[in-house]
Amino acid sequence: MKHFLWGTATAAYQIEGGVSEGGRGWSVWDAFCRIPGRVKGMADGDVGCDSFHRFAEDVKMMKLLGVNAYRFSISWPRIQPTGRGEANPAGIAYYDRLIDLLLENGITPFVTLYHWDLPLDLQMAHDGWLNPEIVRDFSRYAKICFDAFGDRVKHWITFNEPWCVARLGHGSGCFPPGRVSDSEPYSAGHHMLLAHAHAARLFREGSGGGVIGIANNCDFREPLTDSPEDREAAQRSLEFFYGWFTDPVVFGDYPRCMRERVGSRLPEFTTSEQALLKGSCDFLGLNHYTTLYASATPPAEQSADGNGGMNADQEVYLSADPAWEQNDMPWNIVPWGFRKLLNWIAARYPGYAVYVTENGCTCAEPDAAAALNDEQRCRFLRDYTAAMQTAIDEDGVDVRGYFCWTLMDNFEWVHGYGKRLGLIRVSPDNLERVPKASFYAYREIIRNSR
């Protein structure tokens, strides 16, 4: 797989720490973590993996792992403490050092501009993603990053999983800003899409070169039966999930089924906005973790809630095969669903390269021995990368990179530190970087592919 990017991925708030250092402002997650009942154990990212101070150790571990790419996110409040105004020199300097060190070690920086850490002031004073003005705010932030780092960074992602910000932050309310609504997710998502489009235009107008895309999450939906109704339900579920934030950046508008089912709650793009959105990605990112069956009527087996968009608007029932192995989330481990989803994306969006921007497995690790000998994650990595290889070799899907989620155990959002996804064992109580069995399994996968 010549020129293929094998990497790992992280998010700023989960690993950096240093929340009050280097001129960083607070993000919505800093505040959310301090509301009782929102995050398990009232954990927070104040320390995380302390990568703000120890990024050189992280890069050393990546070098040992053998990856040739690292996907990390830039903390918006570290660059602009309130989300507006001049750039923070100390924040620029931190990412300068990280990027330079990656390049010195032959590791390609793959940079995400937004991984959920909205500057708190933009939320409190300006209504965050519900205010159309945030499109301009994000564009200005993006330009600061392009100007500061674009001479060395040639792979950019505007948003990581905007679905989570929209659906979990403004629909169910389990993520910040913690709002519950059946219409706000569509408004928040609309503004993120426009922010992406404007940032992509600025990127292409610049002289730095490179490529820009978006990382959208999606679980696969297999029809429960071969009936036309179940096949339509599976298709509809995928369109409400991956299509919600991918159709606009490829075709210029939302999927038709969303227009039909959401009605006036789904905002309209103007003609000029459609033109700006259409083709605003050079590649498509995919964050994928699991598979469920989809049906038009309730299945006989116990159903699952799933997480593929606004469930009531979809009118899709989700279920699982009880024989499927599950991880600690618990999510189903179904490698063939990964292959099928890659084929679905290739068929719906022909001509677009795909980067698997996240794929990984959370495992129960009650003690150090279990953490270091994480055989379930080893099997997961082997089986899922094999499914991807088959999609490339036999199906002709244009996949150009794979990023294992995640490099290190870290702050796992509302789960606190209770879920373990990393190749390296680390926690706020013990910041020693210790490779797990899956670290070496992933290293062998990389070596055998070259």
Cβ-count burial 402-423 (b if 16+ within 10 Å, e if not): bbbbbbbbbbbbbbebebbbbb
Determine contact, residues 291/321, Cβ cutoff 8 Å. Answer: no
Nearest Cα residue to 165 out of 142, 126, 192: 192
Pairing between β-strand 317-319 and β-strand 430-435 as defined by DSSP bridges: unpaired
Tell me the CA end-to-end span of the chain in Å, nearest whole number.
6
Helix (H), strand (E), coil (C) string for 148-212: HHCCCCCEEEEEECHHHHHHHHHCCCCCCCCCCCCCHHHHHHHHHHHHHHHHHHHHHHCCCCCEE
Token pair listed for 311:
């469930």
Q: Exposed, middle or buried, 369 (CB in 10 Å: 0-12/13-18/19+)?
A: exposed
d(Cα 76, Cα 84) in Å, to the nearest integer? 10
Beta-bridge mates of residue 69: 7, 108
Nearest Cα residue to 224 out of 312, 145, 291, 308: 291
> Which residues are catalytic, by number?
161, 358
Positions at the binding site: 14, 115, 160, 289, 405, 412-413
Segment (H or E) for 376: helix 375-393
Token pair listed for 265:
């709650």
Token pair listed for 142:
């993006």
Positions at the binding site for substrate: 14, 115, 160, 289, 405, 412-413
> What residues contact residue 440 under an 8 Å CB cut-off, 6+ apart?
none
Radius of gyration of the chain (CA): 20
Pairing between β-strand 5-9 and β-strand 69-73 as defined by DSSP bridges: parallel
d(Cα 214, Cα 79) in Å, to the nearest integer? 20
Residue 208 DSSP code: S
> What residues contact residue 299 under an 8 Å CB cut-off, 6+ apart?
224, 293, 317, 319
User: What one-character-per-residue DSSP string does 83-127 give?
Assistant: SSSS--HHHHHHHHHHHHHHHHTT-EEEEEEESS--BHHHHHHH-
Place of tokens 């996240």: 358
d(Cα 125, Cα 239) in Å, to the nearest integer? 34
Token pair listed for 340:
């099928």
d(Cα 72, Cα 49) in Å, to the nearest integer? 14
